[in-house]
């Protein structure tokens, strides 16, 4: 158990819909990262938050948004869903702030598997 | 933009043999290079990492080497065992606005046959 909790574990929805994925980081971790893993694909970096503020951004679609709340949990919102958005979405947390020269181990949650029909 | 290429995409070895996975990165400012192992249906977990001021690091049967000049790094697993079967991901840090994001390779599916 990594200490990172993601809900829901599985989600099935239709094209055009909107979903919210939730992540609770390990106790004390201020950094949260979101990654997308499509079938047999690598881990695509979406976005990073540190202590409530966005710090780094990857190839995140405009239809996707995220935020980190004062209690440090994070949510990833996916809207106008398309078939290609079907994937496993991982949240990871880190004890480090992620600044240059201060990057360390990421602890991944079990992932939220999204299926868009 | 930043990119990490990983080879091979699949690797099949006999138990007891060695396995080598290679990665190249594009961002010359990258300074942190972790390797993650993802077993089937599970989350990725860190197995070893190396920073740019070090050329090699070992931890029991696994080792990582880094060549900053050539911008490539490799994972070596010796005396492979069936439980080493998994997907392995390399990653390289990429600085963005003072913060590092980790860019992952596409993964290598390693199968160790008894």
Query: Considering only CB atoms, which residues of chain B are within 8 Å of chain A?
Result: 6, 31-32, 34, 42-46, 49, 89, 91, 93, 95-107
Rounded Cα distance between B34 and A113, Å, is 25
Question: In chain A, which among 46-85 make CB contacts under 8 A with chain B?
Answer: 48, 50, 55-58
What pLDDT is recorded for position B11? 97
Would you call A37 helix, strand, or coil by DSSP? strand
Chain B environment of A97 (Cβ under 8 Å): 99
The whole-number average pLDDT for the span A25-48 is 90
Rounded Cα distance between B95 and A50, Å, is 15
- Which range has the worst mean pLDDT, A29-38, B87-96, B103-112? B87-96
The whole-number average pLDDT for the span B74-91 is 97
State the pLDDT confidence band at B1, using cuts at 50, 70 and 90. Answer: low
Classify residue A83 as exposed, middle or buried by CB count within 10 Å of its CB (0-12, 13-18, 19+): exposed
Q: How far from each other are the two terminal CA atoms of chain A, in whole angstroms?
A: 31
Chain B environment of A58 (Cβ under 8 Å): 101
């Amino acid at each position: 158990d990594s200490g990172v909790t993601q809900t829901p574990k599985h989600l099935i929805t239709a094209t055009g819909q909107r979903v919210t994925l939730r992540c609770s980081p390990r106790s004390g971790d201020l950094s949260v990262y979101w990654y997308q893993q499509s079938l047999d694909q690598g881990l695509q970096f979406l976005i990073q938050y540190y202590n409530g503020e966005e710090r780094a951004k990857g190839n995140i679609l405009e239809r996707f948004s995220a935020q980190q709340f004062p209690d440090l949990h994070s949510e990833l919102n996916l809207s106008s869903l398309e078939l290609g958005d079907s994937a496993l979405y991982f949240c990871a947390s880190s004890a480090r702030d992620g600044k240059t020269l201060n990057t360390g181990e990421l602890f991944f949650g079990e992932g939220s598997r999204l299926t868009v029909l | 933009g930043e990119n990490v290429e990983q080879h091979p995409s699949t690797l099949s070895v006999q138990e007891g043999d060695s396995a080598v996975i290679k990665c190249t990165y594009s961002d010359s400012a990258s300074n942190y290079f972790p390797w993650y192992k993802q077993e089937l249906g599970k989350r990725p977990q860190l197995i070893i990492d190396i920073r740019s001021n070090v050329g090699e690091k070992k931890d029991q049967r696994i080792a990582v080497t880094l060549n900053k000049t050539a911008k490539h790094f490799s994972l070596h697993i010796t005396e492979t065992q069936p439980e080493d079967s998994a997907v392995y991901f390399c990653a390289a840090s990429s600085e963005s606005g003072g913060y590092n994001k980790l860019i992952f390779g596409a993964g290598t599916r390693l199968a160790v046959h008894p």
